[in-house]
Amino acid sequence: MNQISFVRSLVLWSLPLVLVTGCASLQIDVDVYKGPLANEKEIQVQQFATMATSAKPLIVNLYCKSAGETTEQSCAEKLRLTCDQIPEYKQRFLCEVLYLYEDKPGLEGGNSSQPVKSYTRRSQSRKPGLGLDSLTAAVTKARETGNKKAINEAVEALTEALVFFSQKVLYMTNNELLFGSPAEKDKDPMVAVLQSLGNTILVHANDLQRQKNRKAEIESHAASEGNAVQQAFDSEPAVILVEIKNRLRHHRFGSGDPDEEETQDTVRDDELRAKTVAIVEVVSRDVLTSAEKIKTRDPRVIRDLLLQKLEELGKNTGKNKFTAADVKVTLSTVEKFRVFGAICQGDRELRTCRSKNTVEVVDNLIARLRAQRVQAIAVGDAVSAANLLNAINAAYDQRTAMIYLRPASDYLRSVYSANELQEGTEDQYRNMLAEWFKHYLNPFEKDGSNARRELEKIHWQNVNKVTVSGGGSTNYVLAKDDVGNWYVKAYGSDPEAIIKSATSLALFNSGKAVNMNLLRRFDVQRQLDEDKNLSSQRRAELQQELASTNKAGGQSLLKVRDRYADRYRRDTDAQANSLLAQANDLPGKVAAEIAQVPDWPEDKCPVADTKALLAPLDAKYLVSARDRLSKALADESDPAKASFKTLEQVENGIQGLLTGMHVYSSDAQRVLGQVKDSACPDVQRTAGDRVRSYVRAQVAAAATDRKASIERYEDALTHILEVAGEK
Which H or E run contains 214? Answer: helix 189-220
Domain's final residue, options 338, 356, 374: 356
Domain match, 178 and 239 both: no
pLDDT of residue 463: 72
pLDDT band for position 641 (cuts 50, 70, 90)? confident
Amino acid identity of residue 531, one-letter, is D
DSSP 702-725: HHHHHHHHHHHHHHHHHHHHHHHH
pLDDT of residue 85: 66
Question: How many domains is the chain built from?
Answer: 3
Q: What is the DSSP letter of 621?
A: I
Domain match, 591 and 695 both: yes
E strands, 613-666, in order = none
Q: Is residue 524 part of a domain?
A: no
pLDDT of residue 110: 39
Who has greater pLDDT, 184 or 371?
371
What number is the average pLDDT over the span 397-412? 78
Burial zone of 223 (CB within 10 Å; 0-12 exposed, 13-18 middle, 19+ buried): middle
pLDDT band for position 79 (cuts 50, 70, 90)? low
Q: Is residue 395 part of a domain?
A: no
SS3 151: helix
What is Dmax (Cα atoms) for the chain? 136
Q: What is the DSSP letter of 131?
A: -
Domain match, 676 and 623 both: yes
Domain match, 185 and 260 both: no
Domain match, 172 and 263 both: no
Domain match, 306 and 164 both: no
Residue among 91, 57, 50, 52 at smallest CA distance from 190: 57
On the question of pLDDT at 45 being above 80, the answer is: no
pLDDT of residue 138: 85
Q: How would you write 332-360 as a 3-class SS string?
A: HHHHHCCCCHHHHCCCCCCCCHHHCCHHH
Q: Is residue 379 part of a domain?
A: no
Contact by Cβ (8 Å): 91, 66? yes
Domain match, 61 and 97 both: yes
pLDDT band for position 390 (cuts 50, 70, 90)? very high
d(CA 458, CA 34): 8
pLDDT band for position 604 (cuts 50, 70, 90)? confident
SS3 643: coil
On the question of pLDDT at 169 being above 60, the answer is: yes
On the question of pLDDT at 502 being above 50, the answer is: yes
Domain match, 52 and 183 both: yes
Q: Is residue 342 part of a domain?
A: yes
Who has greater pLDDT, 454 or 260?
454
d(CA 341, CA 219): 19
Who has greater pLDDT, 104 or 176?
104
Q: Is residue 468 part of a domain?
A: no
d(CA 277, CA 333): 11
Domain match, 203 and 250 both: no
d(CA 529, CA 642): 8
What number is the average pLDDT over the span 33-56? 76
Domain match, 211 and 229 both: no
Q: What percent helix, strand, coil does the chain show, rounded to 5?
A: 70, 5, 25
pLDDT of residue 412: 72
What number is the average pLDDT over the span 310-323? 74
On the question of pLDDT at 389 being above 80, the answer is: yes
d(CA 483, CA 466): 15
- Dihedral class, residue 448 (left if φ above 0, else alpha if ψ from -120 to 50, else beta): left
- Neighbouring C-beta atoms of residue 230, cutoff 10 Å: 23
Determine if the pTM surpasses 0.85. no
User: Could you tell me the CA-to-CA distances from 457 to 137, 375, 417, 450 in Å, in that order?
Assistant: 31, 52, 13, 11
d(CA 222, CA 230): 12
d(CA 635, CA 311): 107
Domain match, 177 and 258 both: no
On the question of pLDDT at 426 being above 70, the answer is: no
State phi, psi for 477 to the nearest 5 degrees: -115, 110
Domain match, 580 and 672 both: yes
First to last CA, the chain: 25
Range of the domain at 352: 221-356
Q: Is residue 52 part of a domain?
A: yes
Query: Can you give the CATH number for the domain in which 684 is found?
Result: 1.20.120
Contact by Cβ (8 Å): 686, 708? no
What number is the average pLDDT over the span 386-399? 88
The fraction of the chain above a pLDDT of 70, given in percent, is 68
The fraction of the chain above a pLDDT of 90, given in percent, is 5
Which H or E run contains 501? Answer: helix 496-511
Q: Is residue 562 part of a domain?
A: yes
What is the DSSP pairing of strand 23-33 with strand 460-471?
antiparallel
Q: Is residue 370 part of a domain?
A: no
On the question of pLDDT at 57 being above 60, the answer is: yes
pLDDT band for position 351 (cuts 50, 70, 90)? very low
Domain's final residue, options 187, 219, 251: 219
Q: What is the DSSP letter of 104?
A: B
Domain's final residue, options 329, 356, 383: 356
Which residues does 530 contact at the CB level (< 8 Å), separation at least 6?
Answer: 643, 644, 645
What is the DSSP pairing of strand 486-494 with strand 23-33?
unpaired
